[in-house]
Chain A
Amino acid sequence: KNQVEQSPQSLIILEGKNCTLQCNYTVSPFSNLRWYKQDTGRGPVSLTIMTFSENTKSNGRYTATLDADTKQSSLHITASQLSDSASYICVVRASSTGGGNKLTFGTGTQLKVEL
């Protein structure tokens, strides 16, 4: 069964500090891994998409890494801001020749940035 596990479940950090969120997956065959940011009361917004051949990808202060061998990914947030407070969701796509997107969603890490 395809699964995506994220840790920690929740995290509180002070503004300006860095943090790293973890994602472990057992999706097979692997196609790509995405990180989404979901603000409270809003839909998820894409941060990065990585295929098996990419081991790091940045989007501003967000840097995602992927180790396809160990099936792990991390999302590093640098110099956190209050606006980074959100749920961060790891999503893994399985390869498919049929229709649908074969996405498995993690339950998210709830990040709170405080003054």
Chain B
Amino acid sequence: NAGVTQTPKFRILKIGQSMTLQCTQDMNHNYMYWYRQDPGMGLKLIYYSVGAGITDKGEVPNGYNVSRSTTEDFPLRLELAAPSQTSVYFCASSYSILEQHTRPSEKLFFGSGTQLSVL
């Protein structure tokens, strides 16, 4: 299994340009997530999906869009790039395991990240 694959690894955009960050997983996971990691900050959730056709906003969704047409793919779209979107982006996936207390416990599998600079 390749796990979670993200492309591209690096990208430089000009202000106002658009792009799509690709993410695919081959583990048949239901849950997929997009995070951004800024220097000196913890990861922040942008969008997530609990299955094909279902997406929802995380903590910092402004300026981004997602779609989930298949279980495997979860692309992240930046429509009008801004300098504030300079960050490292991580895609992740997980399955939901019901513990003995019937609460879900997800182990996240991360991709290797996309370093995006908006100039």
Binding site for B on A (CB under 8 A): 4, 31-32, 34, 36, 41-46, 49, 51, 53, 89, 93, 95, 99-101, 103-108
Contacts and interface: CB of A to CB of B under 8 A. Distances in A.
Given A100-B56, A104-B42, A32 B105 contact: yes
B33 A106 contact: no
B103 A101 contact: no
A101 B106 contact: yes
Which of B50, B92, B103 has the most chain A CB atoms inside 10 A of its CB? Answer: B103
Interface of B: 4, 31, 33, 40-45, 48, 50, 56, 58, 90, 92, 94, 99, 101, 103, 105-113
A70 to B, nearest CB: 21
A57 to B, nearest CB: 13
B48 A100 contact: yes
Given A43-B110, A43-B112, 20 more contacts: A31-B105, A34-B108, A41-B112, A42-B112, A43-B4, A43-B90, A44-B43, A45-B110, A46-B108, A51-B103, A51-B105, A93-B105, A99-B50, A100-B58, A101-B31, A101-B94, A101-B108, A103-B43, A104-B42, A105-B42
B48 A101 contact: yes
A41 B113 contact: yes
Contact of A43 (B44, B56, B105, B113): B113
A99 B113 contact: no
A95 to B, nearest CB: 6
